[in-house]
Structure formats: structure tokens, C-alpha cells
Chain A
Amino acid sequence: QVTLRESGPAMVKPTQTLTLTCTFSGFSLTTSAMCVSWIRQPPGKALEWLALIDWDDDKYYSTSLKTRLTISKDTSKNQVVLTMTDMDPVDTATYYCARIRGTRMAPFDFWGQGTLVTVSS
């Protein structure tokens, strides 16, 4: 079955770089029409899309965060990594990775449980 699991630090300091890893099983990012995306949710607030990578290694980023984000994949490890630079307390959120089976227009059919990242000095 399909599973996704986010991992990374629970806390980072302001100005540091956050690195999150999404480890997945039950599918492969070498398969045509498969994508993995990162989404975050500040406490009590709405979902916010961050970045997406597809099977062809095409990458898409939130316009507002594009300068701070890098998404990459390691198909041998079934992992997708997100880095976010220059972290700020407003970046405190639960970070989710999720799968799309299809093109980037398709829905997120499986989500990880999320990982809470707190930005504080």
C-alpha cells in the first residue's frame, strides 16, 4: 500500500536552513505520471502549497517562496527532499508531503501524517 512519511528537525533557529525528507513506499517516482509535493499548515491556519516534483524531474514552486525552496528526489531511496532557507518564526507549521498519481492537475490521493516544525531562537 502507499505510504508517505515526513522526517526532519522538530525545531530550527531563525535564519537556519530547514531540510525535510519525505520517504515513501508503494509507488515509484520513476513511474510516468507520478508526483510528490510539499504542503504546509501553520497552527490554526489554512493549507499552503510549497513545491512539487514529478517523475520527469520537473519542479514547480510557490511563487511567494520560490527563492527559498529547493525540491529534489532520490529515486533509489524513494525519497523527496525539501530545503527551505532563511527560516523565520512565521514558517512554524506542520509540513506534509503528498502524492499525486497523474499530472500536476490531479489530486493528492495520499498524504503523510505531517511533521511539526517550530522556528524559535
Chain B
Amino acid sequence: SYVLTQPPSVSVAPGQTARLTCGGNNIGSKSVHWYQQKPGQAPVLVVFDDYDRPSGIPERFSGSNSGNTATLTISWVEAGDEADYYCQVWHSSSDHLGFGGGTKLTVL
């Protein structure tokens, strides 16, 4: 199956920029979606199709995808952004959906 690799943790100070990566073989050819999950809650979609934002998601959340790495960028990080973040793709050649292992974002 298709493997998505995320760093287990990222720490950033308030007001700084957090860059969360999602690695996969030629992931740039796929549509990547990103979810935010806070403790005890269901995941929430924050970026879809590499860089689009659902309504209600702040512009501080942005995405990019090229080559073997997709990136979720959170600008002007706030304490409320502290959460687990998961990337997700559909792997067409095997008709299989995959999630990354998740990155815990800590706001210092």
C-alpha cells in the first residue's frame, strides 16, 4: 500500500510559521487533503486538493504539493492551532485510501 510519512511532532512559538510535511512517492501527482484533530474531537478538514480551504478555515492555513512532499503551512500560529494534523490521499493504482501517521503540533 501507499505510505505517507509525517514527522511525529513539530513545535513552534506563537506568531511563527509552522510547516508540516507529508512525504510519499510522487505525492505531487495526487490530491492531498489535511485534517486537524483536537483531543477528544473528530478530525476537521483544513486543506483539500493540495491547497484549497473549506469555508470557515482561516487564510493562515495553506498547502502545497510537489515531487515527493506535500506541505501544510500554518502562518501566525496561535495557541488554538495546537492539535494533531493528518494528511490523506487516495491511491488510484491500488484503490486504497491512506492517512499519514499524523504530526502533533505544539505551540510553545
Interface residues of A in 23-55 (CB under 8 A from B): 37, 39, 46-49, 52
Partner of B98, one of A37, A49, A112: A49
B51 at the interface (CB under 8 A from A): no
Chain B interfacial residues counted at CB < 8 A: 25
Which of A8-16, A83-91, A101-109 lines the interface with chain B? A101-109
Say whether chain A's binding surface is mostly helix, strand, loop, or mixed: loop
Are B48 and A107 in contact, CB atoms less than 8 angstroms apart? yes
Are A62 and B99 in contact, CB atoms less than 8 angstroms apart? no
Which residues from B are CB-within-8-Å of A37? 97
CB distance from A103 to the nearest CB of B (A): 8
Interface residues of A in 45-70 (CB under 8 A from B): 46-49, 52, 60, 62-64
**Contacts A60-B97, A104-B97; is A46 near B45 (CB within 8 Å)?**
no
Which residues from A are CB-within-8-Å of B45? 107-109
Are A47 and B42 in contact, CB atoms less than 8 angstroms apart? no
Partner of A107, one of B42, B88, B92, B94: B88
* Contacts between chains A and B (CB distance < 8 A), count: 58
Are A108 and B35 in contact, CB atoms less than 8 angstroms apart? yes
Chain A interfacial residues counted at CB < 8 A: 22
Q: How far is the CA of A14 from the CA of B47 in the complex (A)?
A: 38
Which residues from A are CB-within-8-Å of B95? 60, 104
Which residues from A are CB-within-8-Å of B44? 111
CB distance from A53 to the nearest CB of B (A): 12
CB distance from B104 to the nearest CB of A (A): 11
Q: List 26 A-B contacts (CB under 8 A).
A: A39-B99, A46-B86, A46-B99, A46-B101, A46-B102, A47-B37, A47-B86, A47-B88, A49-B98, A49-B99, A60-B95, A64-B1, A104-B90, A104-B97, A105-B31, A106-B48, A107-B45, A107-B48, A107-B49, A108-B43, A108-B45, A109-B45, A111-B42, A111-B44, A112-B42, A113-B42
Binding site for B on A (CB under 8 A): 37, 39, 46-49, 52, 60, 62-64, 96, 104-109, 111-114
Closest 5 CB pairs of A and B: A107-B33, A111-B42, A107-B48, A49-B97, A47-B99
